[in-house]
Structure 1
Amino acid sequence: MNRRSLLAACLSLACYFGVTSAAHAQAAAPKYPPHSLDNTELRVLPTNADGRSYQLHVHLPASFGTDKARRYPVLFVTDGYWDLATMAVSYNNQVYDKVLPEMIIVGLGYAGQNLDYGSMRGWELSPVRLGMLNFGSGHADKFLASIEKDIIPFVEREYRADPAQRFLGGSSLGGLFTLYAMYTKPELFKGYIAASPAVGLDDDWLIRRARDWAKSGKPINARLYVTGAEFEWPKFLAAIKRYQAALPELKHPGLTFQSRIIDGERHAGTKAESYARGLRFVFAPLAPETGPDKDN
């Protein structure tokens, strides 16, 4: 074998052993289990008449598996693929502190992989068209109807949710949808958390709807918590402040509300504090410290 042939053979062997060694190392590397949120499961609903396929992120209370006769309040959260974990962390911390009751939290999301959440949520969270954005938006009425007719019955059938104790929360467009639901079907939920709601869309459409509702004299027997962030986009925050300032003037019969501007935060950063404080406010009548279980 000449020198050139010997060199080629050595290179071939080196490549072979290098490849097999790399493959062996890859095969031998430990595969760690992915992290998941405890006491949480995913449920996919059949595609509805509007062609929407919803996936529910269901976070169950610690006693759910042992207290078989108990029914629980349920909190529905928009944008569950983003916000369920934030809401669940705040919830679990405050249950430990005995300032929240045990509850079921249902994050509202979509079935499928690699989804464009921006366009999907734009389709249904806003009651008005979103300007030049190509979302085909303005279908909040269809989403609310699906929550009422499909999602709520499913949750109450499958998870022992208390139909007398339903709550709704969301941020940004989700906060706008939360307020839209309150001014459309106020009897559907007993409490609302609207974090940085997009109330300025379509020249304050939501504020005009609130004023029309006030003129009707119809009650809203619920609790409402509304926030904005100190460093939101200025026009966005100005609209939130207009709504917050209007609430005392509107004097909705039956509505108990609280407003707050979260200092030092921008738009998405306000979620953690908004949800934590919002939970405590809207669930105060049921909390162990202040509610019916206070002596236990």
Structure 2
Amino acid sequence: MPLCRRSFLAALAALTLPPARLAAQPVPQVVDYPLFETPPATHRLAQTDLRIDGLGYRIFTACPLGQPPAAGWPSLWMLDGNAAFSRLNAADLAAHPGLAVVGIGYPVDTAVDARARSRDYTPPVAQWPEGDPAQRRPTGGDAAFRARLLGPIAGAVAQGMPLDPAARTLWGHSYGGLFVLGTLFATPEAFRAYVAVSPSTHFGGGALAGAEARARARTGAPARLLIQLGDREYRRGTEAPATPRPAPQTMALAERLARRADLVLELEVFEGLGHGATFAASFPRAFAVAQDGDQPPVP
């Protein structure tokens, strides 16, 4: 409990300036995969398409070379797998040669499948706020997708490489970050650590609040929760705040979660970054948490 408070207060006191590489341009609409064109020396790469419940998924994997630990490799599971693997580079993997990386994406040529991710990553909404653009896409399928992820998708991945089921980290950005938080609330033992990057905590007029209210405490060791966001993020269709600041709704959520004894919270605010730029900005810390999930954050 004291560690959670220290981590939260330390993050509030000192905003983290990201590395220079984080000024990169947003992910292009149609993507290629440099990582596959020049494979890293530390990992074996693969991709495969799955059909589950009549829906298509594309799974990207980077499996460490060498002899795995007795329990299997620790792993980082990344939503929006197409975009994630288009942005990963050999240095990301070389810095963590003992970490397996799994990208869960869709069989498309673009960075994201907007309709599919909206369907899969969002909770049900009782009533949409008037004029919310998300009404134009299918939503509310997070529970069904969670069942696919933890069931047939995880089973298919496990057939291809030995993974430690007790050392998994789930990562997601935007709607993906919303799904990460929803998964923490619904199935807190499913992953050892959770990384929510710029989570869409405003979705559906606060639909996440219901999941938070129904959340049950995690049993066993506390889960690691890393929340990352920029200080220049604001909702589409609204004016930018006069003074840069991280999203108040997400900061309030972090403050509440810092009080939970079953979580070890770390908050990272990227100075000068907007919503899209936090995607790749999150990689260094997220990879470190996934590799060393049992290690507490540095106060």
Q: TM-score range by the shorter chain?
A: 0.7 to 0.9
User: Equivalent residues in 2 for 1:137-176 (5 A)?
Assistant: 137-176=139-178
Take 2:264 and 2:156, find their aligned partners in 1: how far apart are those partners?
Answer: 29
Q: 2:101 aligns with which of 97, 105, 119?
A: 105
Q: TM-score, normalised by structure 1?
A: 0.72
The yes-or-no answer on 1:44 pairing with 2:52 is no
1:279 aligned residue:
287
Tell me: CA distance 1:114–1:83, structure 2 relative to 1, closer, same or farther (3 Å).
closer
Answer 1 or 2: which has greater helix percent: 1
The residue identity in structure 1 corresponding to 2:156 is F
What is the DSSP-based 3-state SS (H/G/I as helix, E as strand, rest coil) of the residue aligned with 1:260? strand
Quick check: 268-277 or 117-126, which moved more?
268-277
Contact 1:72 / 1:102 at 8 angstroms: preserved in 2? yes
The residue identity in structure 2 corresponding to 1:56 is I
Tell me: CA distance 1:208–1:103, structure 2 relative to 1, closer, same or farther (3 Å).
same
Contact 2:168 / 2:193 at 8 angstroms: preserved in 1? yes
CA positional deviation for 1:286: 5.7
Take 1:261 and 1:87, find their aligned partners in 2: how far apart are those partners?
Answer: 21
Q: 1:241 aligns with which of 239, 247, 251?
A: 251
User: Equivalent residues in 2 for 1:55-74 (5 A)?
Assistant: 55-63=58-66, 71-74=72-75
What is the DSSP-based 3-state SS (H/G/I as helix, E as strand, rest coil) of the residue aligned with 2:114? helix
What is the DSSP-based 3-state SS (H/G/I as helix, E as strand, rest coil) of the residue aligned with 2:115? helix
Tell me: CA distance 1:207–1:258, structure 2 relative to 1, closer, same or farther (3 Å).
farther
Q: 1:125 aligns with which of 80, 102, 121?
A: 121
CA positional deviation for 1:36: 4.8
1:261 aligned residue:
269
Contact 2:82 / 2:112 at 8 angstroms: preserved in 1? no
| RMSD, aligned CA | 2.9
* Number of residue pairs aligned between Structure 1 and Structure 2: 242
Take 1:75 and 1:40, find their aligned partners in 2: how far apart are those partners?
Answer: 14
Take 2:211 and 2:185, find their aligned partners in 1: how far apart are those partners?
Answer: 7
The yes-or-no answer on 1:54 pairing with 2:62 is no
Tell me: CA distance 1:53–1:207, structure 2 relative to 1, closer, same or farther (3 Å).
same
What is the DSSP-based 3-state SS (H/G/I as helix, E as strand, rest coil) of the residue aligned with 2:157? helix
Quick check: 175-184 or 83-92, which moved more?
83-92
Q: TM-score, normalised by structure 2?
A: 0.71
1:270 aligned residue:
278
Offset from partner CA, 1:47-74 (integer Å, 9 cap, x none): 222x2111101112233xx659772112
2:231 aligned residue:
230
The residue identity in structure 2 corresponding to 1:186 is P
CA positional deviation for 1:94: 3.1
CA positional deviation for 1:175: 0.5
1:92 aligned residue:
93
Tell me: CA distance 1:238–1:286, structure 2 relative to 1, closer, same or farther (3 Å).
closer
Take 1:194 and 1:90, find their aligned partners in 2: how far apart are those partners?
Answer: 22
What is the DSSP-based 3-state SS (H/G/I as helix, E as strand, rest coil) of the residue aligned with 2:265? strand
What is the DSSP-based 3-state SS (H/G/I as helix, E as strand, rest coil) of the residue aligned with 2:37? coil
The residue identity in structure 1 corresponding to 2:266 is Q
Contact 2:80 / 2:105 at 8 angstroms: preserved in 1? yes
2:9 aligned residue:
none
Take 1:127 and 1:271, find their aligned partners in 2: how far apart are those partners?
Answer: 21
In our comparison, the structure showing a higher alpha carbon Rg is 1
Structure 1: segments with no counterpart, 5+ residues: 1-33, 96-100, 291-296
Sequence identity of aligned pairs in percent? 22
Offset from partner CA, 1:225-247 (integer Å, 9 cap, x none): 00111111167822212212222
Tell me: CA distance 1:90–1:188, structure 2 relative to 1, closer, same or farther (3 Å).
farther
What is the DSSP-based 3-state SS (H/G/I as helix, E as strand, rest coil) of the residue aligned with 1:55? strand
Take 1:190 and 1:70, find their aligned partners in 2: how far apart are those partners?
Answer: 14
The residue identity in structure 2 corresponding to 1:227 is Q
Query: Of the two structures, which has the highest relative contact order with CA contacts closer than 8 Å and spacing of 6 or more?
Result: 2
